[in-house]
Amino acid sequence: MKIRKPTPAGAVLAGVVLVLSLGLVPAAFAGKGHQTSSGGSSSITGPVMVIDNNGNGLPNWQDTVTFNMSTTATAQPYVHLVCSGNGIGYDSWKGVFPGSLDTNWNFVLASGGWSSGAADCTATLGMYTKRGFNQLASKSFHVDA
């Protein structure tokens, strides 16, 4: 078997193709650092009352809520609920898919860091990627005392 050496014109052509293709790489990855979606469609609505301690139909401290959500971006979505204000610190995660560690997808609006009072909350629907948590949709709401 005889191996042929590339001609000078072939080497130049290969070099031009390489340079042009490398020039397209930054455009292909532009804006991909912290995506707010991963393709498909995603939504989160609510909160939906599960336990309404005072019966007013609105989220209050110590009530239990869940969220209506849908996504075609992943089969293993998570909800990250963060509430803060007036010295309150609340941060809770739930894997909202069959087979997750906690299949009770309700959130109790109280914790050791939230012993009473009103707060502003954001529920974020997302997924984990090699780059970390990727936000797909979010919903903000107020919780009364």
Q: Does the global pTM surpass 0.85?
A: no
State how beta strands 119-129 and 42-51 pair: unpaired
Nearest to 119, CA basis, from 106, 130, 110, 131: 110
Q: How many domains does the chain have?
A: 1
Tens-digit pLDDT profile for residues 95-106: 999 999 998 999
Pair of tokens at residue 86? 């007036």
Would you say residue 36 lies in a domain?
A: no
Q: What is the CATH number of the domain that holds 95?
A: 2.60.40
Would you say residue 20 lies in a domain?
A: no
Say whether the peptide bond before residue 98 is cis (omega within 30 degrees of 0).
no
- Of 24-28, 42-46, 93-97, 140-144, the range with the lowest mean pLDDT is 24-28
Would you say residue 13 lies in a domain?
A: no
Show the domain range for 62: 42-143
Would you say residue 65 lies in a domain?
A: yes
Tens-digit pLDDT profile for residues 104-122: 999 999 998 899 999 999 9
Would you say residue 25 lies in a domain?
A: no
Would you say residue 31 lies in a domain?
A: no
Would you say residue 58 lies in a domain?
A: yes
Distance between CA atoms of 42 and 70, rounded to whole angstroms?
5
